[in-house]
Structure 1
Amino acid sequence: MRPTAIIALDVPSRAEAERLLDRIGPSADYVKVGLQLFTAEGPDVVRAMTARGCRVFLDLKLHDIPATVAHAVTSAAGLGADLLTIHTSGGAAMMRAAAKARDAAGPSAPRLLGVTLLTSLTEREAAEAWGRDSVDAGAEVARLARLAEECGLDGVVSSVHEVTTVRGATSDGFRVLTPGIRLAGDVAGDQARVATPAEAARLGSDYIILGRSITAAADPAAAMARALAELNSLPVTA
């Protein structure tokens, strides 16, 4: 199956988010609300997006004590978020508390995705941050994905280059979301591990994040159409 495309609303205000969505048009039906927009506008921006008919990926990358994260999951369910991120590095107790809160929230609860290794990090930078001589990105992502699944999360966030590794380390139905998606010819920006929509689809991503390739384009609607055409040209797989 083809991945679901999510538009990254990495803008400083709800007004700018609304203008961007108006420019892209009805194909922008799944959006990411991240830290920049959420801290500027608060929970109301999620409500505004759902009122537009959009599904919302609430990318807050929660990382705190288990009780605090569990309460945040409950709050996200009340907002109508479809997906919510937490850091796998928060540990097993935190992830299990989040999963328990998701289950208690019932059908309105967001799916929980565990952030593994940020796509902005190179292996050298990860090793420096973690105090190691070296880091194998694939091995680390696989380890964290296994832990996330064991703790009851619905999936993980990883670079497209680790999707195959995650698939090999987890069960069928475990979801993978991949940021760092760029249309062919676009600059990588601050993402160290990037890929095109077609590459992400072929490797088995369930969700892809379309950011600056769409949102910074002179014609966002045309750029979005190009991305969707690339995805729709691929054969459908089970």
Structure 2
Amino acid sequence: MATGKIHCKPNRDPAHPDHIPSLFQHVERTPKENQSKLQRFASAVKRKIAFNTPTPAKRQRKVLSPLCESENSQEEEVYMATPLHADVNSQYFAEYEKAQYNIEINNLRAEKEKLKEQNKELTDSLQSANLSFKHVENNDEKCKFYTGLCWETFITTFQFLSTFVKPAPKNRMINLEDQFFITLVKLRHDMAFELIADFKRVSVATISIIFWLWISLISAKLDFLIKWPDRETINLTSPAPLQQSFLD
């Protein structure tokens, strides 16, 4: 950049001081200001070429920009910087990065499985503390303890009774399975309504309404399962003290 002249002609490089000057009002500058602008532009082009060169190589200042050529410019050898990932080491870095990615992926998968197990444990604990039928699902021992029925009998009975119940809205706080479950728990263990309400996080009135509705439904639809013996059978099977006191 020996001349330091700006010719006020459109230039294809947007960083050049003469980039489409016809669109803007021309401002006269001193030769010193023009020289300073051209030197900054040449330095910027040099840095751009240096960091975009894939391998170390000799360059000429003359080729920094074909738009800034000058007859008095002097050729000078310069050495460009080598990027971090040069072709010589690209394969090594690719394999190293791939190994690191695989290690990180495996660690994330292990962490995911661990979190899934913890989530399942917490969900089971919450269901147990919440008096949910999920806590006894497919577990005959627990189901018999809470309801007096094995799991298959419990779910079969519920499926039969649920056909007589209107579909529950999606926003219902206690689903039908849990309603039937807490009804049987109340019958078997005589739990207080207040305690069940605390477990289910609803009002005592809600639990009371649910219980008596299901009791009415069970009485109406399952009464055929209760077979009262006739009087002769009662007389034959009653203990002796009862026969002496109550039989005619």
The interval holding the TM-score normalised by the smaller chain is: under 0.3
Which structure features the higher share of strand residues? Answer: 1
TM-score, normalised relative to structure 1: 0.20
Structure having the higher Rg? 2
Structure with more contact order per residue of length (Cα contacts < 8 Å, sep ≥ 6): 1
